Each structure stands twice: as structure tokens, then as C-alpha cells.
Amino acid sequence: MARLHVIVVGAGIGGLAAAAALRQNGHQVEIFESSHFEEEIGAGIGLPPNAVKILKYLSCNLEELHCVPYEGVVTFFANGSEGLPQTLHHIARRFGENWLLCHRVDLHAALKNLACGASVPKSTNAQMSGPPAVLHLGKKVVDYNATLGAVTLENGTVQYGDLIVAADGIRSACRSILPGNPMKVEPSNIAAYRWMVDRSIVKTHPELDWVTAGPSGPKIVTTADSRVLIVYPCRDGKLLNVLGIHSDHGQDGKDWNRPATQAEVTDMFSDCHPQFIKFISLAENIRLWQMRCTPVLNAWVDGSIALLGDAAHATLPTFGQGFALALEDAITLGVLFSSESAAINVPERLKAYQLLRKQRAEYVAGQSRDQIIFPTMRGLFYRSPEMQQDIMGYDARKVAETFFQSIPS
């Protein structure tokens, strides 16, 4: 059995998913993460059906995620009237899995356990599985060498790997080292206020019934000029995740994720019905996130180095597909570096990875951008069952396996 020594840079949800997929295929993984996870902020995250499918392939225990199912969305106009339905019918039947809503901290913990936990899930082939991945916190990677298959840590040490996965997020330093890639991530001029609020607090205010009534899932308030307030439950319904999306010009130079005040948010939605203002008045610990998407890249791979997750394809959250794409990347690596193959030519396999993933991610990321930026394209996803099938009905493992079986090993 070919056991590779894999280096993963970044222990975000993308890096941990990659570590889990590679570990489960027999490889020995080391993860270098610059932070100490002291700043982990709470936020909800949607898991569309194509993501849930892969979490199951990774034997993730979904119970641990305390998910809430997305059963329907209720929309409102700024004046408080209910708006046009924007509903995805029969999600599980059409796409094979449900759409689930969870908390990032729970997701991070579950993935970390799959990658680094002492035991492997019963459902995975324990014989095939590699040792627990080793997570090094507070270890920043400052340089890469694709020829040597090496990364340099901030403390000066050089670490060698047969395969190096750079999952270092939207501000990836690795991305611009790969040949022909642009240096900069342009502003999208769109930003989101984000915060969380306890459902129990909302329940004490009768005028906030609109938040908790109706089917389990998002409530979306849209103004005539496309400011959007999105509220959805997570963590067994006990917490509500809120996004206040709006245009934000002059983004360069500012902190990409800065603390914000309640007054700012109130001001932003001041023309909305009092029931929405009341809801905003419960907000605490608000942050303003600049939403950015990576430009189309020239290369995702070079020698034994590959980009994964937001480093390769940071995506606007239009369809909640950012993390789903990272999971697709991860399971694709798992298949391409399957432990059943005798000898592995890493650069060749990574060329296949780029072939399988780049176009797909560019399509989803491109649509996520265009359907926010161009007014005529807004809501196209909800009107197009074909596009929904393309995006949410995708089975990245199946695609990779079909491809893999077709090449001589």
C-alpha cells in the first residue's frame, strides 16, 4: 500500500475535510495552522445536498452537527408583507439528500475528529485508514517549494511532503506562488453584517413571530434596491444565524471582517418595517464581512502542491456552495489518492484533480457572483431546475471514481 506523507496548510473546514479524506485513504497527514483557534467566531453555515452527501461519504456523524433541516423559505418585502415564494421543492427526493443548516463550530469539531481523532468511524475501512492526522497550531507556513515538495514554517524549519495541500483560505499565500495566478482578490463591493441570536430571546417578543413561524428554514427580507436580511436556525434550532447583505463600495484597504455596531445595521435597514428593526435591536457581537470571490486562476496545482477550498475558489454565498465545493475538492483528492493504487505519481494525479475540479468550481463560483451582481440574473437559480440539478445534484465522488477507473494506474 502506498502511504504518502501529506502536508495540509490550514485547518479551516476545507483543510480538515481534505485531511479526513486523505487519512481515510491510508495516508499520513500533518496539518499546519497559523492560528491558535482562539478567534473562532460563531456563525451558521448551510450544507446543501451535495455537501451532505460527501459528509456521509466521510462517515461524518450528522447527529454531532445538531442540524436543522431547510424545509422551505419564507420571503418578505421591506414593508412586512410576505413576498414571492422562493422554494426548492422536494430537496431530498430530487438531489438525494436534504439541505441542512448547522453551526460552523460544530462542523469544525466534527471534521477535526474525523481527521485527527484516535479512532476511525466504524463505517470506514479501518485497515485502509491512516494514522490520526497531526495538527500543529500556531505554525504559519511562509514559503512553498513545488519542486522539492516542501513548505517553510515561520520558525525557519522546512517540512517535506509527498503531497502538499494548501487550504489557506481566501487570502491564500500559496495561490499567488503558483505560476500565472493573479496576486489580488478584487473587492465585490458586497458585504454582509453577521451575527447570531438565541431563539429563546426572539420568542419573548410577539412582534418577532415572523422569525420563528412557518417551515423550518430561512426567512429572507428583500428591499427594492436589493439589500437583504437572511435569518436561519441552526444548533437544534436554538440559535439563529443572521446575514445583512448590502452593497459596500470602497472596500479596499479595510479589514475584511471587522466588528460592527448595531446602529450601523439599523441605519442600513432603517426604511424597513418595525418588526425587522425590532429584530435588529437584539443583535450583539456583529461583524461586517466583505464578500470576495477569487478571480479565475491559471493554475490550481504545481508539482506536488495543490490549492483547495477558498484558496482556489472563494465564492459569494448566493447558493451557499462555498464549503460544499471545498468538500468536493477533498473527496476528489481522496479518490485520486486512493490507497488501493500501488505507486502514485503525485504531479500526474494533481493534474487530474485540476481537470476534475477547476471548471466545476469556476461554474458555481461564476454563477454565485453573476446572480448577485447582475440584476437581470438575480434569482435565476430558483427559477432553473436544471441549474439546481447541476449544482446540488452533483456527486463529486462518483465523478472522480468514474474518471479514475478510466485512466491506467
Ligand X SMILES: *[C@@H]1O[C@H](CO)[C@@H](O)[C@H](O)[C@H]1NC(C)=O
Ligand Y SMILES: Cc1cc2nc3c(=O)[nH]c(=O)nc-3n(C[C@H](O)[C@H](O)[C@H](O)COP(=O)(O)OP(=O)(O)OC[C@H]3O[C@@H](n4cnc5c(N)ncnc54)[C@H](O)[C@@H]3O)c2cc1C
Using CB under 6 A, pick the residue from 23, 66, 104, 139 that binds ligand X.
Answer: 139
**What is the C-alpha to C-alpha distance for residues 260 and 194, in angstroms, rounded to an integer?**
9
Spatial distance between the Cα atoms of 65 and 236, rounded to a whole number of angstroms: 9
- Tell me the C-alpha distance between 136 and 124, whole Å: 25
Mention every residue, 6+ apart, whose C-beta is less than 8 A from residue 206.
none
Distance CA 202, CA 283 (A): 11
CA distance 167 to 352: 18
Q: Which of 102, 167, 268, 288 binds ligand Y (CB under 6 A)?
A: 167
Q: Report how far apart, in Å, the C-alpha atoms of 326 and of each of 85, 219, 250, 263, 294 are.
A: 30, 26, 29, 35, 14
Nearer to ligand Y, 168 or 302 (CB): 168
Count of chain residues binding ligand Y (CB under 6 A) = 34
Q: Residue 77 interacts with ligand X (CB under 6 A)?
A: yes
Contacting residue, 127, 157, 359, 376, with ligand X by CB under 6 A: 157
Q: What are the backbone angles phi and psi of residue 405, rounded to the nearest 5°?
A: -70, -20
- Site pattern 315..334 for ligand X (x: CB under 6 A): --------------------
Looking up cell 505560476, which residue turns up? 179
Question: What's the closest the beta carbon of residue 407 comes to ligand Y, in angstroms?
Answer: 27
Which residue number has the CB closest to ligand Y? 12
Among 92, 123, 125, 136, binds ligand X (CB under 6 A): 136
The answer to the question of residue 45 lying near ligand Y (CB under 6 A) is yes
Question: What does the block give as the cell for 58?
Answer: 466521510
Contact with ligand Y (CB under 6 A): which of 4, 6, 7, 15? Answer: 15
Among the residue ranges 30-38, 70-78, 207-215, 365-373, the one whose residues contact ligand Y (CB under 6 A):
30-38
The binder of ligand Y chosen from 5, 56, 140, 287 (CB under 6 A): 140
Check binding of 300 to ligand Y (CB under 6 A).
no
Q: Contact positions toward ligand X, by CB under 6 A?
A: 77, 79, 81, 136, 139, 145, 147-148, 153, 155-157
